[in-house]
Structure 1
C-alpha cells in the first residue's frame, strides 16, 4: 500500500504547474539601430530577468517610435513591444514588471535618452531615472515611475 501511495503522490507532483520562472518568459520584441551595442546589453539584462527577447536591427527606429506614440523628445535608445505596450529606452525591469502587473490604460512607457548606469549602459548611475507614461489619446506624457 505504501508503494501505491508513493506512486500516486509522485504522479501528482508531476502534474503540478511549473513556476513562472521556469516558463518561457515574457515575450518582447526589441527594435534597435544595427550599430548600437548597448541595446544588446539591455536585451541580455532582460533575458537574465526571465524575458524572451527577439532583437530586430532596423534603420527605421525613429519611425517605429513615432508610430508607437513616443514623442521625439522622449525617445530612448531602442523601442520594444510587449503585448500591446511600447517600452522605449533602458527602462529598469522592476518598472517593466510594474507596468505589466498594473496594466494601465496607456500606450506604454519611456526612459528618454541613454542615462548612465541604466540597464545595458556602462558606468554608475548618476541621476534618478524618470520613466514617462505615454497616453493613447495624444495627451502630454506624465511621470509613471522613478527609480
Structure 2
C-alpha cells in the first residue's frame, strides 16, 4: 500500500514538473538592432526558425544598447541581444545560445564579433570559418564554439 502511494505521488510530481516546463514555452530573445540592417533581420529569422520567441527593438545607437547589456565594445557586431541573464552579440548560432543556457556559465554572454560570412544571417556561397566566444565577467573571452 505504501509503495503504491509513493509511486502515485512520484508520478503526479513528475507530471507537474514536466507540465511546468512545457508551460514556460520558447525562450525569449530581445534583439536591439538598426531598422535598416538586413542581416540583423535574417539573424532574427534564424532564431525564430529555431524555436526562440524573438522581440526586436529598433534603436538608433546599437553600441549604447551593447554597453547597457554589459558587452564590451571589442566584441561588437551590428546587433546585440538579451537572452535570460546573458548578452548575445552578433551572428551567434541558435545552437550556441541553447548550449549557453543549458550550461549556465558565469559570464556576460556570447559574441561572434564582426559579421563573419557564413554565420546565421550572413549566409553566402563562400563561408569563412568563425568562432563564437564566451565573454567572461571580467571581459576576457575564450572560444566557446568553432564553425
User: What TM-score does the superposition give when structure 1 sets the normalisation length?
Assistant: 0.79
When the two structures are aligned, how many residues end up with a matched partner? 133
Q: Matches of 1:84 and 1:52 in 2, distance apart?
A: 15
User: Counterpart in 1 of 2:89?
Assistant: 88
Runs of 4+ in 1 over 3 A off after TM superposition: 15-18, 20-24
User: Counterpart in 1 of 2:110?
Assistant: 109
User: What TM-score does the superposition give when structure 2 sets the normalisation length?
Assistant: 0.79
Tell me which protein shows more helix as a share of its residues: 2
Question: What are the equivalent positions in structure 2 for 1:42-121 lying under 5 Å apart?
Answer: 42-121=43-122
Question: What are the equivalent positions in structure 2 for 1:107-146 lying under 5 Å apart?
Answer: 107-124=108-125, 126-138=127-139, 140-146=140-146
Q: Is the 8 A contact 1:21 1:50 kept in 2?
A: no
Q: Is the 8 A contact 1:131 1:146 kept in 2?
A: yes
Unaligned runs of 5+ in 1: 1-14
